[in-house]
């Protein structure tokens, strides 16, 4: 059975790209988090008191005014994890959703979005922690971990590809929009019961950054990005080749030649988006993607 243009696009988005000289942003962030975790674990094994002191030194304190004595913790806390499972959970989210987002919106946005998610999560939590009457809830708390950063990436990915299906725990198919809503709901419910309020507030702050990131795109650019991501779930045969080729019906050889040409052009555009972001496309390349998207609707 002949492959459709849409299935070719899916393969183009999902298959490994040509090796690049630079490390991917997902790999870079994962390496930094793993390296810091390993170093802290080694320090703790060599001298338990030293390991604990490093956590106190790098974690973000939520007690009133303490952050002003350790301002660097606004950045360092988002790379420090106190236990293995917390690290693994964040690395899984970063790997899955960071991959999708960098493929759709471009690799250059991932690290800034990670950092902004962590900073916004910290600012939101510190703001609430310094409200008169609320400080007692946060007096002995400290923020650790990349979850606010990952939540920013998750929410941005969910809004780009709401109907894309992933398999939770490799078993249960679920649309990304329901997974995103579920994660936000868990944080909101946990806040109602005052369970780890600092942590869950920071998660919501990161999620807000993911939403604002989507809103920062002009409406036309958002539609183009969402159309591009929607193509992943199309698999039926379309009239795209005939529409792009002209009035005369094409024979099998002509259809195959045109399909290969379009796939190669699509590959070049997707590689460019992956390297430089959507803003780097020329008007002709944007028009090609718009025409491609409309032909599949």
Closest CA to 297 of 218, 220, 219, 240: 240
More confident of the two residues 118 and 50: 118
Model confidence at 129, pLDDT cuts 50, 70, 90, reads confident
Span 175-221, pLDDT tens digits: 888 888 899 999 999 888 878 888 889 999 999 999 998 777 666 65
**Dihedral, CA of residue 90, residue 96, residue 97 and residue 98, to nearest 10:** 80
Q: What is the mean pLDDT of the chain?
A: 76
Q: What angle do CA 112, 220, 277 make, to 5 degrees?
A: 35
Which are the contacts of 97, defined by CB distance < 8 A and separation ≥ 6?
150, 153, 154, 157, 158
Reply yes or no on whether the pLDDT at 157 is more than 60: yes
Using CA atoms, how far residue 61 sits from 8, 73, 150, in Å, is 50, 8, 20
Structural domains of the chain in order of their starting residue, each with its CATH number:
19-215 (1.20.1540.10), 219-295 (no CATH)
Reply yes or no on whether the pLDDT at 285 is more than 60: yes
How many CA atoms lie less than 13 Å away from 283 in the CB half-sphere?
0
Which are the contacts of 177, defined by CB distance < 8 A and separation ≥ 6?
158, 162, 163
Confirm if 90 and 33 have CB atoms less than 8 A apart. Answer: yes
Span 85-123, pLDDT tens digits: 999 999 998 988 888 888 777 778 899 999 999 999 999
Confirm if 12 and 270 have CB atoms less than 8 A apart. Answer: yes
Query: How is residue 142 annotated by DSSP?
Result: E
Reply yes or no on whether the pLDDT at 6 is more than 50: no
Instruction: Look at residue 19 in the predicted model and tell me its pLDDT.
Output: 44
Instruction: Look at residue 20 in the predicted model and tell me its pLDDT.
Output: 44
Three-state secondary-structure class, residue 173 = strand
Confirm if 140 and 61 have CB atoms less than 8 A apart. Answer: no
Reply yes or no on whether the pLDDT at 246 is more than 70: no
Model confidence at 259, pLDDT cuts 50, 70, 90, reads low
Confirm if 72 and 80 have CB atoms less than 8 A apart. Answer: no
More confident of the two residues 139 and 65: 65
pLDDT over 90 percentage in the chain: 29
Instruction: Look at residue 192 in the predicted model and tell me its pLDDT.
Output: 85
Reply yes or no on whether the pLDDT at 5 is more than 90: no
Model confidence at 231, pLDDT cuts 50, 70, 90, reads very low
16-30, 147-161, 204-218, 232-246, range with the lowest pLDDT = 232-246
Query: How is residue 13 annotated by DSSP?
Result: H
Burial class of residue 56 in the structure, from the number of CB atoms within 10 Å of its CB (0-12 exposed, 13-18 middle, 19+ buried):
exposed
**What is the rounded average pLDDT of the residues 55-70?**
88
More confident of the two residues 222 and 62: 62
What is d(CA 143, CA 62) in angstroms, rounded to the nearest whole number?
7
Instruction: Look at residue 91 in the predicted model and tell me its pLDDT.
Output: 94
Instruction: Look at residue 258 in the predicted model and tell me its pLDDT.
Output: 57
Instruction: Look at residue 132 in the predicted model and tell me its pLDDT.
Output: 83
194 dihedral zone (left: phi>0; alpha: psi -120 to 50; beta): left
Model confidence at 13, pLDDT cuts 50, 70, 90, reads very low
Residue 166 is inside which H or E element, if any? strand 165-168
Residue 68 is inside which H or E element, if any? none
271 C-beta neighbours (distance < 10 Å), count? 14
Instruction: Look at residue 46 in the predicted model and tell me its pLDDT.
Output: 82
pLDDT over 70 percentage in the chain: 71
Reply yes or no on whether the pLDDT at 28 is more than 70: yes
Q: What is the pTM of this model?
A: 0.69
Reply yes or no on whether the pLDDT at 228 is more than 70: no
Instruction: Look at residue 80 in the predicted model and tell me its pLDDT.
Output: 94
What is d(CA 72, CA 208) in angstroms, rounded to the nearest whole number?
23
Reply yes or no on whether the pLDDT at 7 is more than 70: no
């Amino acid at each position: 059975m002949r492959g459709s243009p849409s299935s070719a696009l899916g393969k183009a988005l999902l298959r490994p790209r040509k090796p690049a000289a630079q490390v991917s942003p997902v790999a870079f962030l994962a390496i930094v988090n793993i390296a810091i975790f390993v170093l802290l674990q080694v320090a703790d094994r060599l001298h338990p008191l030293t390991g604990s002191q490093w956590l106190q030194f790098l974690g973000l304190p939520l007690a009133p005014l303490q952050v002003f004595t350790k301002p660097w913790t606004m950045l360092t806390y988002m790379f420090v994890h106190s236990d293995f499972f917390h690290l693994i959970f964040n690395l899984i989210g970063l790997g899955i959703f960071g991959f999708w987002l960098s493929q759709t919106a471009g690799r250059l946005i991932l690290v800034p979005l990670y950092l902004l998610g962590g900073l916004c999560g910290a600012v939101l939590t510190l703001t609430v922690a310094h409200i008169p009457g609320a400080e007692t809830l946060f007096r002995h708390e400290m923020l650790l971990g990349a979850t606010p950063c990952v939540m920013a990436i998750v929410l941005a990915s969910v809004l780009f590809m709401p109907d894309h299906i992933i398999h939770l725990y490799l078993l249960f198919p679920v649309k990304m929009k329901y997974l995103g809503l579920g994660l936000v709901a868990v944080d909101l419910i946990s806040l109602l019961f005052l369970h780890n309020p600092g942590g869950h507030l920071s998660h919501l702050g990161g999620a807000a950054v993911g939403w604002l990131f989507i809103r920062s795109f002009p409406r036309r650019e958002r539609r183009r990005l969402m159309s591009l991501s929607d193509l992943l779930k199309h698999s039926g045969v379309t009239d795209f080749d005939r529409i792009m080729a002209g009035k005369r019906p094409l024979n099998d050889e002509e259809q195959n030649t045109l399909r290969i040409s379009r796939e190669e052009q699509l590959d070049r555009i997707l590689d460019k988006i992956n390297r430089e972001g959507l803003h780097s496309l020329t008007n002709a390349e944007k028009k090609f993607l718009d025409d491609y998207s409309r032909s599949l609707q």
